[in-house]
Structure 1
């Protein structure tokens, strides 16, 4: 194993929960519930039409100022995101990967300015030799193109890389690319069936990187923590 490829939203930074919370607050203003059943299929997938404001219009049965709602959500989401720190275990993995001489990339279905902006704010941008985002591919996850391009940019074959993901679409994309795939679900994606991953962890902090490398090299599976 020569490389780590990180997803961004929900894996490095839990921006997914921030957006869900912001839209929940909007829905609550109109006395409507934003359900996980509606929300979950969109996580890690920009190839599906995503229109929560339009969905809210249908729920309340009246036209709404969608532009104003979306602007409010954007501002609220930014406020929530600015308070976020990297998810548990991420910084340890970055430091350990550098100490072990592993190459690192980010492969995200989000925009480049979004990903690079947050990484720069957190002081993490310099850890990654390659960043691939929606601007680089015709199709985002669950298509494998983002991971294939990330591996190519690092100069490794996909089966020499470990992908760290939180979403079902991301897991499908990484497996299709041929990478060893680790699922680390967050507060939202823990409700998804991520059993397609090669390995399922409750938190990166539950498994040191050197142990993960041994597992990936041998394709063996230790006793893992139970996700609740």
Structure 2
């Protein structure tokens, strides 16, 4: 029986915007000051999680005698300086948003990032009003890969999880959406394509991939 999609939910970082590349650059810069070199395994464990959880991985992995609170401001100063220089929508994002709107389907964002950060990114590209709802780290008690954020997304959009197409770039986000019962399509990029996406219904080669667009034609 064909899947009927009644709503679409996007992750943010690495899925809508090229922020994972910027995150990697900022993390390298932060650790370089401490004579540390990040590893692919560390980035794997950090990706898709809320900031405090993500940076605890960084601290533990590198044996740093610091806390998230003590390095937060330093990191985000580096990160937002890079954002100003390099931020861009991921290829195909704007076309996909246009297509979803042509199908009159509600859409939302469910991100592990903080609301103020999401609002900055959406506002920069005049996308804020194009989403019916947004969920962020402050809206849940348990971050991805826990399914809480996607169960709430379905509730907020008034659909069953199985009727909700979720687009994710990370293993943690994919596992969260799958556990919620959503129709999860993973869209890996350079920094996540090595991760385990076996929980996804399919893996797309970018936001223009027919595996995504075909679900919106029913």
TM superposition score normalised by structure 1: 0.83
Residue aligned with 2:89, SS: coil
Between the aligned partners of 2:28 and 2:119, the Cα distance in structure 1 is: 26
| Alignment partner of 1:149 out of 139, 147, 152 | 152
> Does structure 2 conserve the Cα–Cα contact (< 8 Å) formed by 1:96 and 1:209?
no
Alignment correspondent of 2:20: 16
Residue aligned with 2:196, SS: coil
Does residue 184 of the first structure (1) align with residue 187 of the second (2)?
yes
Structure 1, gaps ≥5 residues long: 218-228
Structure 2, gaps ≥5 residues long: none
Does residue 200 of the first structure (1) align with residue 203 of the second (2)?
yes
Between the aligned partners of 1:202 and 1:158, the Cα distance in structure 2 is: 24
Alignment correspondent of 1:26: 30
Alignment correspondent of 1:175: 178
Higher mean displacement: 67-76 or 126-135: 67-76
| Alignment partner of 1:97 out of 93, 96, 100 | 100
Deviations 1:101-160 (A, max 9, x none): 111010111111111221011111111001111211111111111111111111111111
Residue aligned with 2:145, SS: coil
> Does structure 2 conserve the Cα–Cα contact (< 8 Å) formed by 1:54 and 1:66?
no
The structure with the larger Rg is 1
> Does structure 2 conserve the Cα–Cα contact (< 8 Å) formed by 1:3 and 1:103?
yes
Aligned residues: 211
| Alignment partner of 1:78 out of 77, 80, 86 | 80
Alignment correspondent of 1:40: 44
> Does structure 2 conserve the Cα–Cα contact (< 8 Å) formed by 1:106 and 1:132?
yes
Does residue 108 of the first structure (1) align with residue 115 of the second (2)?
no
Residue aligned with 2:53, SS: coil
- Residues 69 and 198 (structure 1 numbering): CA distance in 2 closer, same or farther, change over 3 Å? same
| Alignment partner of 2:169 out of 166, 172, 187 | 166
RMSD over aligned Cα atoms: 2.3
Between the aligned partners of 1:67 and 1:201, the Cα distance in structure 2 is: 37
Residue aligned with 1:11, SS: coil
Alignment correspondent of 2:137: 134
Deviations 1:60-110 (A, max 9, x none): xxx679877543321121122232111011111100000111110101111
Alignment correspondent of 1:226: none
> Does structure 1 conserve the Cα–Cα contact (< 8 Å) formed by 2:100 and 2:216?
no
> Does structure 2 conserve the Cα–Cα contact (< 8 Å) formed by 1:14 and 1:186?
no
